Structure 1
Amino acid sequence: MDEKVDWSQLPIELWPKIGKYLDNHIDVLRFRSVCVSFRSSIPPSLPNSPSFPLQLPHPIYNSVITNYLNLATIYLIKPTHQSSNTNLLPLTSSSSSSKGWLIKVEESKNHPLMSLLSPISDRKLSYPLSNNASLMLWNLLNYRVIELCKSYSYTFLNTRRFASIVSKVVFYPNSPWINVEDCVAFCIFQEGRLGLWKHGDKKWKLVDEENFYYDDVIVFKGQFYVTDKWGTISWIDVCSLKLIQFSPPLCGFGNKKHLVESCGSLYVVDRYYESSEQVRRDNVGRRHDRDEVVECFKVYKLDEEWGKWVDVKNLRDRAFILSNSCNFSVSAKELIGYQGNCIYFKDTFDVRMYNLEDHRIVTVDFNPSIDKSLWSHAPWVRC
């Protein structure tokens, strides 16, 4: 069992079969980077695989306005033994060296470089480079790169006034070995309408035309699911465009329901607002009371076997991320700067963290702990 195996000596006919099981871009990239025989065994992707930005029709208007669907991918980046021995990582302790970073990368087949985004706010992150500095290459063989999820956003190039009409877009399947003709997109827009687009469609089709109360849509176990404002989850039959009820109503009283997949289970995060009395004192010590509206969250897990909702009081090591374009969960013990049993979200201006244990909300600044630690090797990854 201790004998080392030279994998490059495997029969050549096995490599294409192995490569076809790699269903995301970063795994294909790493596979093809091993050696010449690996690289020649599979192409980067099929010629007709989805290419982003992907041009789509406007969700509402049949016009000549140019619209694009953008792709970004959430990665967990963890150093290996080789990278931790270099000067690239400003690690301060052995415990932190086993942890990684959560990053969001926006890529395009038409551009050789990738852009780094905030995984929560989708804000493009900058990095300090002098005028004489050249782009640095990031050797992915020195890091464990794990794809967590994909996120999609709509761009209206000719005007900005339509940007707010789209609250969520999902696209599936998306793999180097899938033709774009086999992909489907769902979109929630204009106060809760649910729309469908298939390759070749000149416009979006409305699903359940009579209702306008859908909050979120997600791909879960290879299927599309949508939740309404009462927390009822329905499975979307793509062929018939029918909604099949998948869960009982949650009957939460929040303003918005978020769908999150975590460890193979489906959760609903109920987001609501409540009034909180704030006590402040002026310069001479006089007390001033005022009411302030704050965001709060409740988490429910769907028990698929019994068909009921379970009120979740503790996420343990998991942290839920509610970003502008996708929701997902992470293991906090694997990441620098994240705390378990918390929900991370963006309000109007700031990124905040809600603690489910004490219901405390704090503003989070990831720049010192995460962004700067990536600056030394992140400007940026060459494909």
Structure 2
Amino acid sequence: MDEKVEWCELPLELWPKIGKYLDKHIDILRFRSVCESWRSSISPFHLNSPSFPLQIPHPINSSIDAYLNKATLYLVQPTHASSNFQSFSKGYLIKVKESKNHPLHLVNPISDRKLSNHLGASPMVLNLLENHVFEVCKSYNVHSKGGHYVAVNKVVLFPNSTWINVENSVACCVFKEGRLGLMKHGYEKWKLVDENNFYYDDVIVFKGQFYVTDKWGTISWVDICSLKLIQYSPPLCGFGDKKHLVESCGSVYVVDRYYESEPRIRRRNHVGDLNHCAAVMGFKVYKLDEEWGTWVDVKNLGDRVFILGNSCNFSVSAKDVIGYQGNCIYFTDMFDVRMYNLQDHSFITIPFDPCIENFVWPTLSLQRIRGNNQFHASV
């Protein structure tokens, strides 16, 4: 038992078994980049993850083609081998939107807006041997062919593992008017969960299940077989106007958003978008104590950063990420990306993504080079 064996001397038949414990594509890419024997043990063409955009039924009109798009958020931490970024001790966030027909491109991690090219036409390569790349989360949104209105406020997909066929994945969404919908492979239309109620605000994947919150802050998980909701928490009874779910360090939080005026009249404007003209005036954060089944009013997040994005909510540590401040909530407010400080309740409007402000990153398209250890940025 005390004898040490080099990794490269392990029996070849073990490598495919080890590789299949890696669910995330970036981990498999790094695995295949180590050496020729590791690369040959897992073929990229045998992976079963769905190709995006994924065609799905339109939520309102079945005659319109709708598509589920995916973007992946990464934390990139330069190593000492990187001469360009060796002065940084922190990493940075990049969000990559994927498409089977077009090069990958960067989008803002909070607003999801495509980042424009302001650095010229010079391509740049992100070498995975010089950077540690970690997947933070995946996000999804629904678009329709021809720009038709899609009444989806939030959508999540589970499972989305490299080794899972798309036929085994399920999508869950919150429609604009607060309904909750479920979509499995082969469905001709979305099925409603709790179809008599229109008061759901957010949905996330937590502990391998869909968890939703209603306007009172009650969390339930979705039984995808019976299309029923199982109550998971007591009502929060927060007085805010919209509830957001955030998973952080293995615990679930509800972030209660307060508007200056009542925004819950869910009306569309002339272009079909939900008309929330009221500005945000504050947030309150609550943590669910699962052992006692009670809500804890959180006054300080420490070094944690909560990000309420347009397509996903997530949490990171400020000590790991450039440009983000701990004990703060980053969010979109009408057309702006803003930061709310929980300590002094102040707001700051951010004109562009914080990671762009603190270091030069090419806001160009990204094209993945299969089978090697690089992401390639090109116009």
1:377 to 1:192, Cα distance in 2 relative to 1, 3 A: closer
* Offset of residue 368 of structure 1: 7.3
Amino acid at match of 2:114: K
Q: Which has the higher helix share?
A: 1
CA deviation map 1:237-266 (0-9, x unaligned): 011111011000001111110000000000
Give 1:67-78 correspondences, 5 Å limit.
67-78=66-77
Amino acid at match of 1:116: L
Q: Percent identity?
A: 70
Other-structure match for 1:171: 157
8 Å contact kept, 1:127–1:375? no
Q: Please, which runs of 5 or more residues in structure 1 have no aligned partner?
A: 276-291
1:28 to 1:371, Cα distance in 2 relative to 1, 3 A: farther
Question: Residue 137 in 1 paired to residue 108 in 2?
Answer: no
Query: How far apart in 1 are the matches of 2:350 and 2:181?
Result: 34
Higher Cα Rg, which structure: 1
Question: Residue 118 in 1 paired to residue 117 in 2?
Answer: no
Query: How far apart in 2 are the matches of 1:273 and 1:121?
Result: 19
Amino acid at match of 2:89: S
8 Å contact kept, 1:128–1:375? no
TM-score, length-normalised on structure 1? Answer: 0.87
Query: How far apart in 2 are the matches of 1:120 and 1:377?
Result: 15
Other-structure match for 1:12: 12
Amino acid at match of 2:96: V
SS of 2:205 mapped into structure 1 = strand
Amino acid at match of 1:82: A
Question: Residue 262 in 1 paired to residue 253 in 2?
Answer: no
Other-structure match for 2:309: 323
Other-structure match for 2:98: 107
1:209 to 1:377, Cα distance in 2 relative to 1, 3 A: closer
8 Å contact kept, 1:173–1:183? yes
Aligned with 1:152 (options 95, 118, 140): 140
Other-structure match for 1:281: none
Question: Residue 338 in 1 paired to residue 324 in 2?
Answer: yes
CA RMSD of aligned residues (A): 2.1
* Offset of residue 129 of structure 1: 4.4
Amino acid at match of 1:103: I
Query: How far apart in 2 are the matches of 1:245 and 1:381?
Result: 43
SS of 1:39 mapped into structure 2 = helix
Query: How far apart in 2 are the matches of 1:274 and 1:178?
Result: 44
1:196 to 1:72, Cα distance in 2 relative to 1, 3 A: same
Give 1:1-383 correspondences, 5 Å limit.
6-44=6-44, 46=46, 48-63=48-63, 65-83=64-82, 86=83, 88-89=84-85, 94=87, 97-111=88-102, 113-130=103-120, 133=122, 135-160=123-148, 162-163=149-150, 165-274=151-260, 294-366=280-352, 369-370=355-356, 373-375=359-361, 380-383=366-369
* Offset of residue 159 of structure 1: 2.5
Query: How far apart in 2 are the matches of 1:369 and 1:152?
Result: 22
Q: How many residues align?
A: 351
* Offset of residue 46 of structure 1: 4.0
